[in-house]
Amino acid sequence: MTRAAKNSSTIVIGGCGFIGSNLADSLLRSGESVTVVDNLSRPGADQNLAWLKEAHGPRLAVRIADIRDQNALVPLVSDAKAIFHLAAQTAVTTSLVAPVQDFEINARGTLNILEAVRASGGNIPVVFASTNKVYGALADIEVANVDGRDLPTDVALRTHGVNEERPLDFSTPYGCSKGVADQYVIDYAKSYGIPTAVLRMSCIYGPRQFGTEDQGWVAHFLIRALAGDPITIFGDGNQVRDILHVADAVAAYRSVLAGIDRFRGQAFNLGGGAANAVSLNVVLNEISRIVGHEVRIHHAETRIGDQRYFVADTRRIQSSLGWRATIGWREGIRDLARWLGSNHSREATMERFVA
C-alpha cells in the first residue's frame, strides 16, 4: 500500500449506498478502520447506515457530508489511508431532467475529492466507481437475436464482451459526467502522481440494493414481483447485460486497492462477464420461478442511451489481479430475493421503494 498513516482509516465515500455499505462492511469485518462519508440523500441510505452501526458499533466512523462541498472534504481526507469513491448521481433519466445537478455531483464532486487529496500531499490511493456508460450507446455493434438475447454478430465480442480498448463515447448527461470524472481520476495519476484506479462497472446487484425503475433494475424487478405489481420494460426486453453480485464487486474493489502501486492510473471493466450475460426477459423468467407466479409486464419505448448489448470483457482485471466472478447469476438473484424477504416487511419495502 502506498500510504498508511498512523491511526488513519479507509474512507468509503458514498458508504451508505448499496455497494458502499457492502464494501464498508467487508473492510470492517477484516479488521480495517473505516469512515463512511455520505449525504444520506438516496432511498435506503439511512437503513444501510443503521445496519452498519448495528453490526460494527463504535468501530465505524460516520461523517455526513456532500462531495459538492469542497471545504468539508479537505479535513475528511487529510489523513486517510485510502479512499473508495462511490458517491454519485446514478440515473440516466435524472441526468436528462437535471443535467447541471448531475454534473455538479458526478464531475465536480469527483474533482473536489481529487483536489482534497492533492491538498493533503497527494499520496492517498483513490479507487473510483465508473460505469460502462462511458462507452456510449454502442450503436455500432451489430446484434442478432439468439434465443431471446441480443448478441453481437462479431465472434470476439460475443465470446469476451467489450474491453477497455473500446473508444470512449459519452452519451446522455450521465454518461458525460461520469466519463469526465473517469478521465480526471486517471489523469490525476499522470499529472500529480496520485495513486488512482477506475472500475467501469456493469450491472451490480445484491443485498442492500433498494432498486428503482431508474437504477438498480435487478432489485427493482424483484421488489415489484414480490409485491405482485407490474414491471415496465423499456424496449423488447431482449437487451443483454452481464450482472455481477455485489460480493464479487467488493472483492474486485479490494483487490484493486491492494495492487494500486502496480496499477495506478488504469481503468478496469467490472461485470459478470459472458458467463453471466442475460437478457432482461431471461431475468424476468427466473424471477417468476422464484416468486411462484408469472410477472406482469408492461412495455414502453426504449430510453435514450440504452445499450442493446453490454457485457464487460473482464480479462484485464482477471489477469492483472487474479479476480473473477464467483457467484452465478441464478444463485445471486436468489440470494437477493432471500435478503428482500428476510430483511424487510412487504408493506414497508413497497411503501418506500415502489411508489
β 203-205/240-245 pair status:
parallel
Q: What is the pLDDT of residue 7?
A: 55
Q: What is the pLDDT of residue 344?
A: 56
Q: What is the pLDDT of residue 1?
A: 47
CATH entry 3.40.50.920 includes domain 10-353: no
Q: What is the pLDDT of residue 212?
A: 86
Q: What is the pLDDT of residue 353?
A: 39
Q: What is the pLDDT of residue 347?
A: 37
Block mean pLDDT (10 aa), the chain, length 355: 62 98 98 97 94 96 96 92 97 95 98 97 94 95 92 96 97 96 98 97 96 90 94 95 98 98 96 96 96 93 90 97 97 97 54 38
Report which secondary-structure segment, H or E, holds 182. Answer: helix 172-192
Q: Which residues, in sequence order, are CB contacts of 254 under 8 Å at separation 6+?
A: 23, 26, 27
Strands (E), the chain: 10-13, 34-38, 60-64, 82-85, 126-131, 143-146, 149-152, 196-201, 203-205, 231-234, 240-245, 266-270, 277-279, 297-300, 309-310
- CB 12, CB 24: distance < 8 Å: yes
Q: What is the pLDDT of residue 345?
A: 41
**One-letter amino acid of 171:** S
* Residue 92 burial (CB count, 10 A): 22
Alpha helices in 12-98 (DSSP H): 18-29, 45-56, 70-77, 92-97
Report which secondary-structure segment, H or E, holds 311. Answer: none
Please, what sign has the CA dihedral across residues 126, 305, 148, 142? Answer: negative
* Residue 77 burial (CB count, 10 A): 22
Question: What positions carry a catalytic annotation?
Answer: 174
pTM, two decimals, is 0.93
- CB 264, CB 186: distance < 8 Å: no
From residue 102, alpha-carbon distances to 1, 14, 33, 214, 277 in Å are 33, 15, 31, 14, 29
Q: What is the pLDDT of residue 315?
A: 97
